[in-house]
């Protein structure tokens, strides 16, 4: 441990206007010369970008947490399929993955075209 930090943040729930204050603490192996307070804030923000763009989509949109595959390597294969689908959708310019999945469910030929001719190869 080279340094620790305290981050306080305030969020406002848009629907109700309720204000919530939260304080979190972190430990990092970078020295103050290697990571300034602004750099630490950037690290935390980047973490949440990954969480929101990847993990949340996999947990909620793909419902990955409820997957019941436990035997052998099937769960690894399904994770690979989900990651590939997510990458193809992002490369194709889709921001809202749930909406893109609904659109492709209604047009399976478009989904097959995306797999057969990935973005950049069309």
pLDDT for res 69: 77
Strand partners for 23: 8
pLDDT for res 78: 87
Q: Give CA torsion, residues 101, 102, 107, 109, to 10 deg.
A: 10
pLDDT for res 37: 92
Residues near 30 by Cβ (< 8 Å), separated by ≥ 6? 2, 3, 39
pLDDT for res 36: 93
Count of C-beta atoms within a 10 Å radius of residue 100 = 22
Instruction: Annotate the chain with DSSP letters as a single string.
Output: --EEEEEEEEEE-TTT--EEEEEEEEEESS-TTTS-HHHHHHHHHHHHHHIIIIIHIIIIIS-GGG----STTHHHHHHHHHHHHHHHHHHTT-S-HHHHHHHHHH-HHHHHHHHHS-TT--
pLDDT for res 22: 94
Per-position pLDDT tens, the chain of length 122: 999 999 999 999 999 999 999 999 999 999 999 999 999 999 888 887 777 777 788 888 888 878 887 778 888 888 899 999 999 999 999 999 999 999 999 999 999 999 898 777 76
pLDDT for res 122: 65
Angstrom distance (rounded) from CA 117 to CA 122? 6
């Amino acid at each position: 441990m080279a340094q620790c930090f305290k981050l306080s943040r305030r969020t406002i729930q848009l629907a109700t206007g309720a204000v919530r204050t939260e304080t979190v603490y972190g430990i990092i192996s970078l020295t103050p010369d290697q990571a300034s307070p602004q750099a630490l804030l950037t690290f935390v923000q980047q973490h949440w970008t990954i969480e929101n763009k990847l993990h949340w989509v996999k947990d909620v949109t793909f419902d990955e947490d409820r997957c019941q595959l436990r035997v052998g390597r099937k769960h690894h294969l399904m994770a690979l399929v989900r990651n590939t689908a997510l990458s193809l959708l992002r490369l194709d310019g889709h921001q809202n993955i749930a909406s893109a999945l609904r659109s492709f469910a209604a047009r399976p030929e478009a989904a097959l075209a995306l797999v057969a001719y990935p973005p950049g190869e069309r």
